[in-house]
Amino acid sequence: MLLKYTVEYTTPFKKHAQTNYYSTDDPVAFEELIEELLERGFGIRAIKHEGLDLPKHDFDRLIKTAAGMLASKRICASLGIKPDEEKFRFGFTA
């Protein structure tokens, strides 16, 4: 059975990078994984939907959404504010 979402990413080590894959059918869990990959600085090599590479526009939109989620969490933690206030003041997705 082909899972709906798959990401290929690399984990950096001192002398090399290891390629890893993660697959799921849950779009929310997938967005959270992309957010975590961005936070940790892992190299995102490919994102696939039902076995096919995402078009560039959809790839970029997914990365932008995950980056907004990450920025929102960081702003809330740094300023000690709630997600609703962050969204009103800064406009990132909560």
Q: Token digits for 75?
A: 């702003």
Report the predicted TM-score, pTM, of the whole model to 2 decimal places. 0.85
Q: What is the pLDDT of residues 11-43, one digit of tens each?
A: 988 888 899 999 999 999 999 999 999 999 999
Q: Domain extents for the chain? A: 5-90
Q: What is the rounded CA–CA span in Å between residue 90 and residue 5?
A: 30
* Residue from 46, 44, 42 nearest 12 by CA: 42
